[in-house]
Amino acid sequence: MPATLGGVPAPSAPRSTRGEQTRSHILATALRLFRDEGYDAATMRAVAAEAGVSVGNAYYYFESKDHLIQAYYEEIGKAHRELALARLTGVRDLAERLRVALDSHLEVIEPYHAFAGSFFRVAADPRSPLSPFSAESAPAREEAIRFFATVVDGSSTRIPAALRAELPRLLWLLHMGVVLYWVHDRSPGARRTAELVERGVPLVVKLIGLARLPGVRGALDDAIALIRSLMPPEPPIAPEAVRAPSRLLR
C-alpha cells in the first residue's frame, strides 16, 4: 500500500535510475535549503529553482513540502541506523549501546541545528502531519523503534520480559526527549546535549536494572500500562526488520 500524507497517496517516483536520481537530487537540494535558508524560506518553488527542475517536476516527486519533510525523516533515520549499527558491532553493554545510538543520531542531525528551531514550531503542533507522533510519521517512527529493539536485543543486560517488550518504545521516547533538548540547546556545539547523554544514559540503565527487584514490579506494570494507553498503536516489533530498506515515498 502506498504511503499517504493527510489521507492523500504519496506520488510514486519512476523506478528508472534517472527518476531515482532526479528524486534524490530534489530531496538533497531541499535539505540543503532547509539547513541554509530555514524551513519557511524553502518553499517548493524555491526548491525547484535551486534544483534546476520545473515546479511541476518537483511536485511530481513530492506532492508538498510535508512530503519532503517525511523523506527527510527517512534519510536522517537511514543515515543514523547505518552509522550506529556499524559502531555497535561487538558492543554488548547496554549503557554503551544506548550512548552510541544517541550520540550517532546527534552527529547525523548536527548540520540541521540552525534549521531545527523554525521547523520545530511546525512539528510541535499535535495536528501537524509532521509531528513525530502523527499517523503520517508512523513509518519513520516504527523504524526508529525497531532500531532501538536492536539496541536492546544486542545487549547482555538481563531485563524483565514485560519491560523488555516495551523498552524499545520507551527508548524512542527518551530519544525524542534528547532531540527536543538539542533543538533548544544553544551551547557551543550543543555541548550540553552531549553531556545530557553522557550522564543520563547510565542513570537510565540503572533504572532498568531496578526493574528486576520484586518490590518494583507492581509500579513497573502500572507504568507500562499507562504508556501503552498513551502511545499510538504500533505493529509488533521485528528487530531484524531494521535492516530492510524503507519504502516510504518510494
What does the mean pLDDT of the chain come to? 83
Residue 232 and residue 201 share a domain: yes
Higher pLDDT, 13 or 139: 139
- Please tell me the predicted confidence (pLDDT) of residue 20: 87
Q: What CATH number corresponds to the domain at position 59?
A: 1.10.10.60
Domain contains 248: no
Domain-embedded: residue 153 = yes
Would you state the pLDDT for residue 118? 78
Among 155, 159, 171, which residue's Cα sits nearest to residue 102? 171
Look at residue 140 and tell me if it is in a domain. Answer: yes
On whether the CB atoms of residues 43 and 37 are closer than 8 A, the answer is no
Report the pLDDT value the prediction gives residue 124, as an integer from 0 to 100: 85
Residues 174 and 59 in one domain: no
Whether residues 207 and 123 share a domain: the answer is: yes
Residue 229 within a domain? yes
Report pLDDT for 47: 94
pLDDT tier at 249, thresholds 50, 70, 90: very low
26 and 88 both lie in a single domain:
no
Domain identity same for 37 and 86: no
Q: Are 34 and 110 in a shared domain? A: no
Question: In terms of domains, do 33 and 97 share one?
Answer: no
* 90 occurs within a structural domain: yes
pLDDT at 243: 38
**In a shared domain, residues 85 and 137:** yes
Final residue of a structural domain among 34, 63, 92: 63
Q: Where are the beta strands (DSSP E) in the chain?
A: 4-5, 8-9
In a shared domain, residues 19 and 132: no
Give the model's pLDDT for residue 234: 55
**Who contacts 193 (Cβ-Cβ below 8 Å, separation ≥6)?**
106, 178, 181, 182, 185, 187
pLDDT at 148 over 70: yes
One domain, residues 107 and 212: yes
Vertex 106 angle, CA 205 and 184, to 5°: 95
| Best CA proximity match to 23, nearest among 77, 80, 82, 71 | 71
pLDDT, tens digit, for every residue of 79-125? Answer: 999 999 999 999 999 999 999 999 999 999 998 888 888 778 888 88
> Using one digit for the tens of pLDDT, what is the confidence trace for 158-188?
888 878 888 999 999 999 999 999 999 999 9
Name residues whose C-beta falls within 8 Å of residue 66's C-beta, 6 or more positions apart in sequence.
5, 6, 129, 130, 136
Tens of pLDDT, residues 191-243: 999 999 999 999 999 988 887 777 676 677 777 777 677 666 654 444 443 33
Q: What's 198's domain CATH number?
A: 1.10.357.10
Q: Does some domain include residue 5? A: no
Residue 16 confidence (pLDDT): 64
Is position 92 within any domain? yes
What share of the chain in percent tops pLDDT 70?
83
One domain, residues 22 and 141 = no
In a domain, 250, yes or no: no
Confidence of residue 6 (pLDDT cuts 50, 70, 90): very low
Q: Which domain holds residue 58?
A: 13-63
Q: What is the pLDDT of residue 231?
A: 65
pLDDT interval class at 42 (50, 70, 90): confident
Instruction: Assess whether pLDDT exceeds 50 at residue 14.
Output: no
pLDDT at 232: 61
Residue 7 pLDDT more than 60? no
- pLDDT score at 50: 94
pLDDT above 60 for 248: no
Question: What total of structural domains would you count in the chain?
Answer: 2
Same structural domain for residues 51 and 142?
no
Last residue of one domain, picked from the residues 21, 42, 63: 63
